[in-house]
Chain A
Amino acid sequence: MDASSEIFSAVALTLKLATVTTLILLLLGTPLAWWLARSGSWWKETIAAIVALPLVLPPTVLGFYLLVALGPSGPGGALASLWGARTLAFTFEGLVIGSVVYSLPFVVQPIRNAFEAMGERPLEVAATLRASPLQAFWNVAVPLARPGFLTGAVLGFAHTVGEFGVVLMIGGNIPGETKVLSVAIYDYVETLRWREANILAAGMVAFAFAVILAMTLIEKRVARPGA
């Protein structure tokens, strides 16, 4: 594979990974955030703390546990044996699992904040208008929490694109399957191929800048009354 197709394959794989991860996180994260925002359960902050763990833990800790969990003696291996494989490590699916864990707090936290900021009132009003709880959720809560969803999606996507340590530990560096952008950059630097490293690294800088700018603009729009 020449350099440009190598770069293209890494970029395409990274975008695919980030997209799949973000979609899964929105599906899993929304009910979780809803529960965290509205439950009166005394142990909900315990769950919230577990969700937030990847913020603090070094990626090596996640990578180590994931490698064991995805392997033949862990649950990942049991799952993989359903289709005759023996491990989920070194696969795209394995990376998705790792990324979902790794980026979870980045999606759950903004959505939870948005649900909490909304307060009880809109839902009470919806209930008096005879909306079922599900209707109230879809027609009132979700639209009101839209900025939270947007922030969560952007952050989850960006954070997955920027993932490195976990992928390095569970990926096995397979082109087109697990060799994502950050790992490709690392490889280029380590083999002194700095031209290619530069192309990708500069692209990442531009991407990160665009994400941060977009986030700021979203927040500004939300803060502006009447917008």
Chain B
Amino acid sequence: MKTWKMLAAALAAFALSPAAALAGATHVAVAANFTDAATEIAAAFKEKTGEEAVLSFGSTGQLYTQISQGAPYEVFLAADAARPERAVAEGLAVDGSRFTYAIGRIVLWSADPDLVEGAETLKAGAFDKLAIANPATAPYGAAALEAMRALSVYDGLKAKIVTGNNIAQAFQFVQTGNAELGFVALSQIAGKEDGSRWQVPVELYQPIRQDAVLLTKAAESDAAKAFLAFLKGPEAGAIIEKYGYATGAGS
């Protein structure tokens, strides 16, 4: 009898523990460029509040489509200002919750230490494949396109462009050497020493203002609000800057 009771108690604990853990969890949809920073912020958030932020990554457009179809996210960290704005306009996000958490930069990067020298590299075009994120869904891809147009190299390079589904895939194309170079997010190579890079001057593209927004279905969720408050705070700010972003507050 005693054994049975112990077994039942163990089973109950087993069955309840994930539920208990999820009670204080908030689901966050994160634009792919912010993957590393968000992971670190979520860890710091958990350490400070004991609550968990469950992260899902994708391109901003991809995540937006999912949100519009009722995906169970509570917070949306986009890579642009347009989609969070649209989410508010369409009633998917809470009015007044939108703020800029990071301002992103694009970098022309190659795993080859001698390839990227600057705008001349693009003008010379002595490469086979150039990776970018899908400009239709990923703001970093759109910024790459804008920069190439500003340099008047887009028409010449058009045939060499390969498109990643999001900025993480564009990065992976370059990292594996399948594309010699590509436009990636500064945050993706902030901690890397290898390869060659050219930080694209900000005059060549609109600043990539990345906005966060609280989604309507989580309007009453304390965990989601706590996460957004934490994202605005100094600890998260330090992490965001460490990854090469400017923070919204400082601009």
- Other A-B contacts than A87-B177, A172-B178, 6 sampled, CB-CB below 8 A, are A87-B179, A172-B131, A172-B173, A187-B136, A189-B65, A192-B65
Indicate if the CB atoms of B178 and A67 lie closer than 8 Å: yes
Q: List 25 A-B contacts (CB under 8 A).
A: A67-B172, A68-B176, A70-B178, A71-B176, A71-B178, A73-B177, A86-B128, A86-B177, A86-B180, A87-B179, A90-B129, A90-B178, A90-B179, A168-B165, A172-B129, A172-B131, A172-B164, A173-B164, A174-B163, A189-B65, A190-B59, A190-B137, A191-B65, A191-B137, A192-B61
B side interface size, CB within 8 A:
23
Q: Across the A-B interface, how many residue pairs have beta carbons closer than 8 Å?
A: 62
Contacts of B61 in A (CB 8 A): 190-192
Task: Mark out the residues of chain A between 170 and 200 whose CB falls within 8 Å of any chain B CB in the assembled complex.
Answer: 172-174, 187, 189-192
Given contacts A86-B128, A172-B163, contact A187 B134 (CB under 8 A): yes
Instruction: Describe A's contact surface by its main secondary structure.
Output: loop
A72 in contact (CB, < 8 A) = yes
Indicate if the CB atoms of B65 and A87 lie closer than 8 Å: no
A118 in contact (CB, < 8 A) = no
A61 in contact (CB, < 8 A) = no
Rounded to whole angstroms, the CA-CA distance of A90 and B65 in the bound complex is 26
A side interface size, CB within 8 A:
21
Indicate if the CB atoms of A72 and B177 lie closer than 8 Å: yes
Query: Separation in Å of the B244 CB from the closest CB of chain A?
Result: 26
Q: Mark B163-204, 1 if CB is under 8 A from A, else 0.
A: 111000000110011111000000000000000000000000
Rounded to whole angstroms, the CA-CA distance of A168 and B131 in the bound complex is 14
Q: Which residue of A lies closest to B112 (CB)?
A: A72
A85 in contact (CB, < 8 A) = yes
Q: Which residue of B lies closest to A90 (CB)?
A: B162
Indicate if the CB atoms of B131 and A71 lie closer than 8 Å: no
Indicate if the CB atoms of A173 and B165 lie closer than 8 Å: yes
